Amino acid sequence: MTPRIEPLQPPYDPEVAERLAALSAPGTEPIRLFRTFARNLPMAAGLNAWGRYYLSRQLSLSLRDRELVIDRVTARCGCDYEWGVHIAVFGERAGLTEEQVRSVAHGTPADPCWTGHDALVLEAVDALHDTATIGDPLWSRLSAELSEAQLLDLCLLSGWYHAISYAANAARVTPEDWAPRLADAR
């Protein structure tokens, strides 16, 4: 598919270069999503603070829980772009096996590859995706495993990556060449 909003291409004007550097990992080229978001510099600046928090050690969730949330949300939203980037960059660091990558993309929390904790996190993401809330029985089980800070982070992280998925899908951001696609996980 042809992108609806073309990512900016180098050379970048100084303000764009500064914003892209802030959004990107040090020493890396800015990804297509960031170059697309840089078409709206005030928005990209706002994204920077939230994105930095969600990918930092300040987030109360573990790296694995964070990636389970992001990978499940982006898969459920059908966002090849963001799912592929996170699987490629963080999947191994989060300890995801090939079976778990397939399951997070196309399976269910009941798949045998998940621990009880992982399944609980995935159930929460699915509930938020399907109903925009978490019912009392699931909330009780989550509260037994996660702190209030973690519960809040799980909810907002899910919503944040819904928004990222919506924007990437609607703008038709072309997946990165080095990132897997949802169809690859079948």
Q: Whole-model pTM?
A: 0.96
Domain boundaries, the chain: 14-54, 63-185
Contact between 64 and 94 (Cβ < 8 Å): yes
Q: Per residue in 110-158, pLDDT tens?
A: 999 999 999 999 999 999 999 999 999 999 999 999 999 999 999 999 9
Contact between 180 and 89 (Cβ < 8 Å): no
Task: Judge whether residue 38 has pLDDT over 90.
Answer: yes
Contact between 61 and 152 (Cβ < 8 Å): no
- Lowest mean pLDDT of 25-29, 61-65, 78-82, 165-169, name the range: 25-29
Please give the share of the chain, as a percent, with pLDDT higher than 70: 100
Domain 63-185 in CATH 3.40.50.300: no
